């Protein structure tokens, strides 16, 4: 059986679960991952120590446990999100009026840039928004090329347009903005080839410049958007925050600092739901050690 077929079967099977059951089972799965996946646990602990130095040891361990439970919920709700019919997805958003806020921010001549951090369920946020505002977005092709058609098909099924993170894909996003359309970008991925170091939770992090450049060149407003997972399977709350105007500053460090500050403000609302398993600080300014290497050696 191919890997793609296995993933499809798993997603289809979990899509049959009620959301509350998926979250209950997912919390248990996440706790198990946190107990057994030592390397991943070390990454989470390093991130939390870097980002929340004001918390004591007990508080950080509690945040770590909550983070793994939320991670497990995200895994088991994936089938529901990716295979759920549009009506089910719409019902899972408890405050659809938040889309009116986004609509009010939308400049029909210049478009709207949507920055969606890896917080809560970013896939659901995109799928739900696409039912009202078809969004143009970039995606990083998966390491297994066989998974790419699956990824694109799932993300485009509610009206989105997805482009690979290539020069051609970026040109398509600029074209969309010139037509007054919406463009979505995940702003907290470490850039592969370019970027600047800007503070994130007070630590220097290599930060993408693409979103800030697009905001400066197009004049499009920028909104931070994320879907907060509610307790006991009650659904999700859509959050919309207007970005600091300095996100379009000509100085790339000033702009990246404003963008990271916006991401951080979102994360601080629901810190356990951020993707702390990602090695956000692995690329360091010259002369500074990789903090994850120290954690792995400990």
pLDDT at 294: 66
Predicted confidence (pLDDT) at residue 104 exceeds the cutoff of 90: yes
State the Cα–Cα distance between residues 141 and 138, nearest whole angstrom. 9
Is the Cβ–Cβ distance between 60 and 48 less than 8 Å? Answer: yes
State the Cα angle at 265 between 261 and 267, rounded to 5°. 115
State the Cα–Cα distance between residues 231 and 12, nearest whole angstrom. 23
Which of 46-60, 150-164, 280-294 shows the lowest per-residue confidence on average (mean pLDDT)?
A: 150-164
pLDDT at 18: 96
State the Cα angle at 88 between 86 and 89, rounded to 5°. 65
Is the Cβ–Cβ distance between 41 and 34 less than 8 Å? Answer: yes
Predicted confidence (pLDDT) at residue 297 exceeds the cutoff of 80: no
Q: Tell me the β-bridge partners of 199.
A: 204
Q: What percent of the chain has pLDDT over 90?
A: 76
Cα distances (Å, whole numbers) of residue 30 to 9, 73, 80: 21, 7, 17
Q: Please report where in the chains the tokens 């793994």 appear, as a residue.
A: 68
Is the Cβ–Cβ distance between 237 and 94 less than 8 Å? Answer: yes
Supply the pTM of this predicted model. Answer: 0.94
Structure tokens at 135: 């969004």
User: Where in the chain are the domains?
Assistant: 3-284
As a residue count, the chain comes to 298
State the Cα–Cα distance between residues 284 and 291, nearest whole angstrom. 9
């Amino acid at each position: 059986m191919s890997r793609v077929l296995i993933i499809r079967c798993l997603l289809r099977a979990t899509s049959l679960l009620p959301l509350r059951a998926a979250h209950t089972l997912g919390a248990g799965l996440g706790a198990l991952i946190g107990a057994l996946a030592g390397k991943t646990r070390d990454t989470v602990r390093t991130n939390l120590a870097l980002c929340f130095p004001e918390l004591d040891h007990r508080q950080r361990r509690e945040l770590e446990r909550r983070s793994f439970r939320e991670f497990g919920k995200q895994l088991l709700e994936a089938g529901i999100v990716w295979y759920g019919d549009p009506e089910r997805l719409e019902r899972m958003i408890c405050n659809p009026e938040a889309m009116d806020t986004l609509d009010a921010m939308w400049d029909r001549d210049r478009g709207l840039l949507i920055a969606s951090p890896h917080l809560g369920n970013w896939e659901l946020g995109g799928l739900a928004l696409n039912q009202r505002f078809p969004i143009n977005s970039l995606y990083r092709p998966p390491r297994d090329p066989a998974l790419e058609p699956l990824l694109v098909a799932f993300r485009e099924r509610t009206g989105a347009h997805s482009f690979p993170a290539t020069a051609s894909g970026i040109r398509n996003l600029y074209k969309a903005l010139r037509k007054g359309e919406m463009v979505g970008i995940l702003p907290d991925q470490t850039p592969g080839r370019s970027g600047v170091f800007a503070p994130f939770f007070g630590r220097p992090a290599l930060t993408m410049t693409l979103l800030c450049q697009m905001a400066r060149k197009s004049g499009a407003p920028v909104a931070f958007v994320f879907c907060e997972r509610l307790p006991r399977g009650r659904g999700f709350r859509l959050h919309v925050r207007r970005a600091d105007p300095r996100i379009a500053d000509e100085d790339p460090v000033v702009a990246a600092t404003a963008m990271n500050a916006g991401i951080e403000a979102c994360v601080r609302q629901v810190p356990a739901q951020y993707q702390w398993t990602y090695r956000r600080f692995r690329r360091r300014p010259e002369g500074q050690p990789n903090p994850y290497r120290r954690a792995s050696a400990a």
